[in-house]
Amino acid sequence: MKIKDIAKLAGVSAATVSYALNDTGRVSQEVKQRILDIAASNNYTPNLIAKSLRANRTFTIGVLVEDIKVLATSRIINGIQKYAESHGYQILLSDLGLWEKIDCRYDEAVLYKDKIQSALGLFESLQADGIIYIGMHDRNVTGLLETDKPVVYTYCYTEKKNDFMVTYSNDIAYDVTKYLVDAGHKKIGLISGPINSTPSHKRLLGYQTALMESGIELNLKYISVGNWEYEFGYSACMEFMSMSVKERPTAIFAMNDLMAIGAIEAAGKLGIRVPEDLSVVGFDDTEIGRYYHPKLTTVALPLQEIGSIAAKIIDELSNGEPVQDQEQILPCSLIKRETVKERK
């Protein structure tokens, strides 16, 4: 069923059908209704490919993800979809599957430039209106995507000045630390991600600032720098707890849920109770923490919003509208559950 077919049935020209269907141009009520009826009863679906060819717009957003299996990725995509759906866009997805290839979660995605370029090539060939990159790795992303189309980096950071970026704020690390201090803790262990990781670095800063403002001296033996793995959380906590009872942390802030759970496991092994003897805060608000026992106090990221805003930027850019902020950094929130004892 094409426009031509409708035209023939309605006894008008193809142009008139197009005008009627798009509610543009001048078509009499009578003829318009006839055309609409015919289209509906033959369930005509417009050929967007032809439309796109003509309009040089596809109403399609290319989404390039480092790994679809990471939950945060899905949540961001969910946000993109929400916007896309209500604004007539369709999502083109390409999954780089990085996680299964680089064992080292904080490795550089630069290695995958070929793969990225080929995915990008497809997006360009399919005339995507813009590209959203969902970057889960730690380093700043820069010089990865070579394209003339508008690009929005999400989750990760970029240094490129002509691209857009929407991510979460690590300032929450400040609030978490404050929260622990207010709960009466003075010795707060920090289980960090790798040192060369941008978010780790920013969170460390928040931790330091909060301590300083609270008049607590920064003590390097309370900072454990590692990877993002469960096992590291476990061993880091073991090390903390090997200190004398006087010295050892009464609270631990882990930079992700996995390490937080690892830490709690270690404490359990040593007979140290959480939260009675040791408070623990995680980061990411993953399912693991929600169903763990005790339920993990953690930080939730505004992932869905990140996705929606990224999609909105592409939309505005494609419509030639001005976009307010090149960078948007959304606040996180602390989810108080069962692993922090708020003693006074």
Q: Does 92 bind a copy of itself (CB under 8 A)?
A: yes
Question: Considering the complex, what minimum distance in angstroms separates the CB of residue 280 from a copy of itself?
Answer: 14
Asked whether position 97 contacts a copy of itself by CB under 8 A, the answer is yes
Among DNA, a copy of itself, none, what does residue 13 contact (CB within 5–8 Å per kind)?
DNA
- For the four alpha carbons of 333, 335, 339 and 343, in that order, the dihedral sign comes to positive
Peptide bond into 322 cis (omega under 30): no
Maximum CA extent, the chain:
92
The residue ranges of DSSP E strands in the chain, in sequence order, are: 60-65, 90-95, 130-134, 151-154, 164-168, 188-192, 223-225, 251-254, 279-281, 298-300, 327-330, 333-335
Q: In the complex with a copy of itself, which residue's Cβ is closer, 121 or 184?
A: 121
The least distance separating DNA from the CB of residue 9, rounded to whole angstroms, comes to 12
Task: For residue 292, state whether it binds a copy of itself (rule: CB under 8 A).
Answer: yes
Spatial distance between the Cα atoms of 194 and 248, rounded to a whole number of angstroms:
22
The DSSP symbol for 141 reads B
Select 163 or 265, whichever has its Cβ closest to a copy of itself.
265
Q: Which is nearer to a copy of itself, 122 or 238 (CB)?
A: 122
Instruction: Pick out residues in 106-135 that bind a copy of itself (CB under 8 A).
Output: 121-122, 124-127
Give the separation between CA 138 and CA 12, rounded to whole angstroms. 60
Residue from 129, 265, 285, 305 binding a copy of itself (CB under 8 A): 265
Contacted entry of DNA, a copy of itself, none for residue 230, CB cut-off 5 to 8 Å set by kind: a copy of itself
Q: Which is nearer to DNA, 3 or 281 (CB)?
A: 3
- Residue 161 interacting entry, from DNA, a copy of itself, none, C-beta within 5 to 8 Å by type: none
Cα(238)–Cα(249) distance, integer angstroms: 11
